[in-house]
């Protein structure tokens, strides 16, 4: 599983870079246009993904900022958001590089942002959720981009593995 999670961390960085590259070609109005995704616009969805990653990484590592709501806009401007995304992706890659089998199996305890309860669970399924959550909302980013008339992105893991991610094959 360690290699699998490290592959997902690298894929996550690659897929985010694809989305942000297309986002950089949008007008500000397009970037902020509500196209029916859960968080509305590409702007708000990309902010949510960063928010969620920061929340989970704070839970996992005990360090970093963790917003207190899931819909907070951390960055109004795409350039600042993109820089923060890149830094968070590198943080995730570095952290997954420190994991071992015992840490994946170990329990950790956290309180969800949406409920004042404590949850204790093994790290491994929570880490799987981090990557699955990214994929879920990147799909909404893809839908938003195509609704804006932009070309469909090829974000499937297999495209990463056939190109930049060949080391994971």
Which DSSP state fits 152? P
Q: Name residues whose C-beta falls within 8 Å of residue 147's C-beta, 6 or more positions apart in sequence.
A: 35, 36
Q: Is 133 marked within a binding site?
A: yes
For 96-111, what is each residue's pLDDT tens digit? Answer: 999 999 999 999 999 9
CA-CA-CA-CA torsion for 91, 6, 78, 40, nearest 10 degrees?
-120
Mean of per-residue pLDDT scores for the chain: 96
Could you list the beta-strand ranges (E) of 64-151. 107-110, 119-122
Phi and psi at 122, nearest 5°, equal -65, 150
Look at the block and give the residue holding tokens 């990484």.
57
Specify the 3-state DSSP secondary structure of 40: strand
Q: What is the mean pLDDT of residues 31-58?
A: 95
What pLDDT was estimated at residue 58? 97
- CATH entry 1.20.120.450 includes domain 1-168: yes
Residue 20: closest CA among 11, 10, 31: 31
Q: Is 48 marked within a binding site?
A: yes
β-bridge pairing 119-122 and 107-110: antiparallel
Q: Tell me if 18 sits within 8 A of 155, measured CB to CB.
A: yes
For 127-147, what is each residue's pLDDT tens digit? Answer: 999 999 999 999 999 999 999
CA distance 47 to 167: 30
Whether the per-residue pLDDT at 46 is higher than 90: the answer is yes
Whether the per-residue pLDDT at 36 is higher than 90: the answer is no
Q: Is 43 marked within a binding site?
A: no
């Amino acid at each position: 599983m360690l290699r699998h999670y490290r592959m997902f961390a690298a894929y996550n960085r690659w897929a985010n870079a694809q989305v942000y590259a297309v986002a950089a070609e949008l007008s500000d109005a397009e970037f902020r246009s509500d196209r029916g995704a859960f968080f509305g616009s590409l702007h708000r969805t990309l902010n949510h993904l960063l928010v969620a990653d920061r929340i989970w990484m704070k839970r996992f590592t005990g360090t970093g900022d963790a917003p207190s709501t899931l819909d907070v806009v951390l960055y109004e401007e795409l350039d600042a958001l993109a820089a923060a995304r890149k830094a968070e992706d590198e943080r995730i890659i570095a952290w997954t590089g420190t994991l071992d089998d015992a840490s994946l199996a170990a329990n950790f305890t956290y309180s969800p942002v949406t409920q004042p309860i404590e949850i204790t669970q093994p790290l491994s399924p929570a880490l799987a959720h981090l990557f699955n959550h990214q994929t879920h909302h990147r799909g909404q980013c893809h839908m938003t981009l195509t609704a804006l008339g932009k070309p469909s992105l090829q974000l499937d893991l297999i495209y990463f593995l056939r190109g930049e991610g060949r080391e994971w094959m």
